[in-house]
């Protein structure tokens, strides 16, 4: 396995598809799960805000860890991209709904902007390797903390984060939007660097 940053341009479409597969339950009801959603996500990717795992030959994307700090985010799209892909009415509506999920990174904190591993690569240490690489990147950027959120419907991920030293700091519910997004609450976890 090769761990690298930034995301190679050749992996942009694969990273968007993997992100949609991993977070489809959460964002699919708003963006859809088809070609338009994948194209939107690919358009929003900032390659410099990612750490990726590739096969040893460098041809296959195994996983991606998106990053967010004061300078930007892995999925950094805004209203312009939403309107380009969903139109003058659909774009703003989707933007309003998605704004509920947005979390800005505070100074000194590197926020995970999603971590996803290809189904065929799960259970092979890819997620752990990406988290270690994200922590190393946070140190390089001068962050004092690596932060992430995990939804209540993903206990396997929460257990991995805890094994790697992340600790729970807050739990927040999303109220009636749970029916749209498919989860009730998100736990914020941090790793002190």
Average pLDDT of the residues of the chain: 88
- State the pLDDT at residue 179: 47
- State the pLDDT at residue 97: 79
**Residues whose CB is less than 8 angstroms from the CB of residue 178 and which lie 6 or more positions away in sequence, other chains included:** 184
pLDDT digits (tens, 9 = 90+) for 164-183: 899 988 776 555 555 455 55
pLDDT digits (tens, 9 = 90+) for 36-80: 999 999 999 999 999 999 999 999 999 999 999 988 899 888 899
pLDDT digits (tens, 9 = 90+) for 89-136: 989 888 887 876 676 778 889 998 889 999 999 999 999 999 999 999
**Residues whose CB is less than 8 angstroms from the CB of residue 77 and which lie 6 or more positions away in sequence, other chains included:** 40, 41, 43, 44
pTM score, whole prediction: 0.84
- State the pLDDT at residue 174: 57
Output the CATH code of domain 2-145.
3.40.630.30
Query: Domain map of the chain by residue range?
Result: 2-145
pLDDT digits (tens, 9 = 90+) for 144-167: 999 988 877 677 888 888 898 999
Tokens 């932060």 sit on residue: 147
């Amino acid at each position: 396995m090769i761990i690298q940053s930034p995301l190679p341009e050749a992996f942009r479409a694969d990273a968007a598809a993997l992100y949609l597969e991993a977070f489809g339950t959460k964002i699919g009801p708003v963006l859809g799960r088809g070609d338009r959603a994948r194209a939107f996500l690919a358009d929003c990717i900032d390659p410099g805000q990612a750490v990726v795992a590739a096969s040893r030959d460098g041809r296959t994307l195994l996983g991606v860890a998106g990053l967010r700090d004061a300078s930007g985010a892995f999925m950094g799209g805004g209203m312009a991209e939403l309107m380009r892909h969903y139109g003058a009415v659909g774009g703003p509506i989707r933007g309003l709904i998605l704004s509920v999920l947005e979390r800005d990174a505070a100074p000194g904190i590197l926020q995970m902007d999603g971590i996803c591993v290809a189904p065929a690569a799960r259970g092979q240490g890819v997620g752990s390797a990406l988290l270690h690489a994200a922590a190393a990147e946070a140190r390089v950027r001068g962050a004092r903390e690596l932060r992430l959120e995990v939804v209540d419907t993903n206990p396997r991920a929460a257990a991995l984060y805890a094994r790697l030293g992340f600790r729970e700091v807050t739990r927040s519910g999303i109220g009636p939007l749970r029916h749209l997004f498919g989860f009730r609450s998100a736990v914020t976890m941090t790793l002190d660097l």
